[in-house]
């Protein structure tokens, strides 16, 4: 987030960690797919402490991330065994978890 000091008119970047909504989807999925839990927990912790301003910020950390319209991102989890679909609101610093599933389940769905 870029802030302008009204007294000096200088701009500076204020880094605020992202707020991740929908963690319950990760927890529910991890209960059924226990082998995914550690990887999903790591992803959640990393993203909760990130400060994404642009899609390039995501790509710099997650090389295999795919980008869809409407600021949606698909992450490969645990060596591409699982997929995670989120929507990113860069201006507000919010990541909304939309869907998590196995790669096979992902292949049956249509994300556009």
- Write down the pLDDT at residue 88: 97
The size of the chain, in residues, is 112
Looking at the DSSP bridge assignments, the partners of residue 96 are: 21, 87
- Write down the pLDDT at residue 64: 95
- CA 19 from chain centre, in angstroms, equals 10
- Write down the pLDDT at residue 89: 96
Find the mean pLDDT for residues 4-22.
77
Alpha-carbon span 37 to 26, nearest angstrom: 8
Residue 1 reports pLDDT greater than 60: no
pTM (predicted TM-score)? 0.84
SS3 content of the chain, % helix, strand, coil (to 5): 35, 30, 35
Grade residue 41 by pLDDT with cuts at 50, 70 and 90: very high
Distances (CA, A) of 40 to 11, 29, 70, 71, 83: 36, 9, 23, 21, 10
């Amino acid at each position: 987030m870029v802030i302008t000091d009204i007294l000096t008119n200088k701009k500076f970047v204020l880094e605020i960690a992202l707020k991740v909504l929908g963690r319950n989807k990760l927890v529910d999925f991890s209960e059924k797919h226990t082998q995914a839990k550690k990887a999903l927990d790591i992803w959640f912790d990393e993203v909760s402490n990130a400060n994404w301003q642009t899609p390039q910020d995501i790509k710099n950390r997650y090389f295999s991330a795919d980008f869809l319209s409407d600021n949606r991102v698909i992450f490969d989890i645990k060596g591409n065994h699982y997929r995670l679909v989120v929507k990113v609101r860069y201006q507000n610093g919010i990541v909304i978890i939309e869907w998590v599933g196995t790669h096979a389940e992902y292949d049956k769905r249509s994300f556009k």
